[in-house]
Chain A
Amino acid sequence: MRQSWRTAFSRFAEAMTLFALAVAGLFPLFHVGRVELIYYTIPYPNTMNLFSQWRSPLIWDAVAISTYGLVSLLFWYIDLIPDLASMRDKARTRVAKFMYAIPALGWRGDAHHWQGLHRTAFFLAAIATPLVISVHSVVGLDFAISQLPGWHHTIFPPFFVAGAIFSGLAMVMLFAALFRSAYKMQTIITDEHMNKAGILMLITGLLVTYGYLIEIFGAWFSGDTYEWAYSVERVLGPLGWSFWGMMIFNAVVVQLLWFRSVRTNPTAMVLISLAILVGMWLERFVIIPVSLSYPFLENMWDPFTFGIWDILTVISPFGLFLTAMFLFIRFVPVIPIAETQATMIEEAHHVK
């Protein structure tokens, strides 16, 4: 539970999760079309006596994602309280002191408070692990429960979990590697951190690759005409570039991570992470618009084309995400102070 190589990454990863979730959370809003009626998804007593359809994966998704968001926020925040207190004590201006003091809640480092925080974080981590698996599985179920060729696969839930960890690691790696060289933090985010994260990327990358292959195998082995026709069209049709791009960026490039020298080379890791992020975007492109381009009736086959609004919708969330991320890097300790301090003070003391 307490792997020291992970702590340097943890706060980063948690912040990324939260901001990515906040940005991603906007899309179901747009997607329902009637943004002002999104509260219908919340089960609340109302005069219409209207309630959610509990057998639909869409309500599972709404519940899973909001639970995930809230638990991530709590986990991130309680871990941040001692560091906010540290910022409060270090702040030079009254305004800064006040701004940090409010969220620090009067934390004073009392031994019993630390113990309570430690125990709470331990149990939260323990219950958050199945939660992470459940939230991505439920997203997988949104697709798998439909009948559409390309969506109707039992492999989707675990495949989505692997894909989420894979792209999440790539994103953390990208930020961590850039951050490390920009702020000269090689002693805090060490080569060993990069190495371990690289190994995890390789493992999840191989799982994702297995998913791609088994999807095609399943389409053929099931003998389902529609499923197989879609699989052929997906690989060889006009949108085939997205499939091949996904395979190259996710399945081929990742093989470089077998080498330790690649895993500890920051430039290589930045490039590989970028490739994976593009690859994972292509994977979602393959799953959503490409599948929707080939429904059951052939006269409805209509390969997806990009319009200006599609392109803007892809680009704009980057702005929102990066704004939040940069504000976070500027104002909140990105590397957990308390845990780094523990190592540093103890080392200094042992040298004496």
Chain B
Amino acid sequence: MSSKQPNTLYGVAAEFESAEQLLDAAREARRAGYRRVRAYSPYYIEGLADVLEKRTNISAWIVPVALLVGAFSGYMLQYWTSTNVYEFNIGGRPVVSWPSFMIITFEAAILFTALALVGTMFAQNALPLPYHPIFNTPNFGEASRSRFFLCIESIDPEFDLQDTAEFLASLEPINVSEVES
């Protein structure tokens, strides 16, 4: 096997058998000073993402803002069209009767929030993304079913092909492989 140039190398990946091993490996990698570390698992593992890099829970901010924006838009749509575009005069009842506007206001709030939440998630995860170098990892097809992968990227300042591979091998993975970019 010819040695790969660093610029064609995406990183070094280790394959593990269980979630606990992956979690421990992620902790060890962080302790060893690596920063560009990514973990891949077939299901959600509590706390794994926070071990690698803590990210603020942006959803918690999106929800109240989107609820307010949605409610305001829903209400204003009804208010504005009832007063400026098409006035329904039914038995002299008030044109703007806010209690009967509440249901659509509520639905609009929920609709905006749901779209904002899902949109934010896709944007944050940068999905859809049909191609990603990690798919070059041998046996990566198992990452969606039964295997757990930890990848240290070559752009990490601490990255060194020899040392990093040895470090990953010391974590008792099933195997360690180089990932082409």
Contact indicator B38/A111 (Cβ below 8 Å): yes
Q: Within A39-67, which residues are at the interface with B (CB < 8 Å)? A: 43, 49-55, 59-60, 63-64, 67
Partner-contacting stretch, out of A122-130, A164-172, A295-303: A122-130
B43 touches A339 (CB 8 A): yes
Does B78 touch A at the CB level, under 8 Å?
A: yes
- Given A70-B114, A78-B118, A111-B38, are A106 and B104 neighbors across the interface (CB < 8 Å)? no
Q: Which of A52, A110, A114 has the most chain B CB atoms closer than 10 A to its own CB?
A: A110
A81 to B43, CA, bound (A): 12
For B90, the closest partner residue in chain A by CB is A55
Indicate which residue in B106, B114, B135 contacts A108 across the interface (CB closer than 8 Å): B135
**Restricting to B65-113, which residues have a CB under 8 Å from any CB of A?**
77-78, 81-82, 85-86, 88, 90, 93, 97, 100-101, 103-104, 106-108, 110-111, 113
Q: A67-B110, A112-B52, A116-B121 are in contact. Are A55 and B44 (CB under 8 A)?
A: no
Stretch at the interface among A21-29, A177-185, A265-273, A340-348: A340-348
| Cα A60 to Cα B42 with chains together (Å) | 41
Cross-interface CB contact of A70 among B50, B90, B111, B122, cutoff 8 Å? B111
Please determine whether A60 and B104 come into contact, CB atoms closer than 8 angstroms: yes
Q: How many A-B contacts at CB < 8 Å in the complex?
A: 188
Tell me whether B117 is interfacial, beta carbon within 8 Å. Answer: yes
In the bound complex, residues from chain B placing their C-beta under 8 Å from that of A60 are 103-104, 107
| Bound Cα distance from A122 to B115, whole angstroms | 14
Task: Report the minimal beta-carbon distance from A104 to chain B, rounded to whole angstroms.
Answer: 9
Contacting pair A109 B103 (CB below 8 A): no
- Interface segment among B28-36, B140-148, B159-167, B173-181: the answer is B140-148
Chain B 50-64 near chain A by CB (<8 Å), digits 1 or 0: 101101010110110
Q: Are A106 and B49 in contact (CB under 8 A)?
A: no
Contact A63 B49 (CB under 8 A): no
A120 at the interface (CB under 8 A from B): yes
Nearest CB on A from B51, distance (A): 8
CA distance A50 to B88 in the complex (A): 10
Contacts of B104 in A (CB 8 A): 54, 59-60, 63
Q: Which stretch (A84-92, A196-204, A214-222, A242-250) binds chain B?
A: A84-92
Is residue B134 contacting chain A, with contact meaning CB distance below 8 A? yes
**Bound-state Cα–Cα, A51 to B19, Å:** 56
Contact indicator A341/B43 (Cβ below 8 Å): yes
Q: Closest chain B residue to A45 by CB distance?
A: B85
Is A123 a contact of B142 with CB atoms below 8 Å? no
Residue of A with least CB distance to B67: A127
Q: List, in ascending order, chain B residues with CB within 8 A of A75's CB.
A: 114
How far apart sit A113 and B132, CA to CA, in the bound complex (Å)? 14
Interface residue? B124 (CB, 8 A): yes
Partner of A106, one of B42, B44, B52, B132: B132
CB pair B53–A112 under 8 Å, yes or no, is: yes
Chain B residues with CB under 8 A of A64 = 103, 107
Closest partner residue, chain A, to B127 (CB atom)? A105
Given the complex of chains A and B, what is the CA–CA distance between A88 and B81 in angstroms? Answer: 48
Say whether A67 contacts B78, CB under 8 Å. no
Most B Cβ at <10 Å: residue of A109, A127, A338: A109
Max chain B C-beta neighbours (<10 A), residue from A67, A85, A341: A67
Q: Which residues of the partner chain B approach A255 to less than 8 Å between Cβ atoms?
A: none
* Whole-angstrom distance between the Cβ of B118 and the nearest chain A Cβ: 5
Given contacts A106-B132, A134-B106, A342-B44, 15 further A-B contacts (CB under 8 A): A78-B118, A89-B142, A106-B131, A108-B40, A109-B41, A111-B38, A113-B125, A115-B48, A119-B57, A123-B62, A131-B110, A134-B103, A345-B43, A349-B17, A349-B19
Instruction: Please give me the 3 A-B residue pairs with the lowest Cβ-Cβ distance, nearest first.
Output: A105-B128, A115-B49, A89-B141
What are 15 sample pairs from A and B whose C-beta atoms fall under 8 A apart?
A: A49-B86, A51-B86, A59-B104, A60-B104, A78-B118, A82-B43, A89-B144, A114-B48, A115-B55, A117-B125, A123-B113, A127-B63, A345-B18, A345-B42, A349-B17
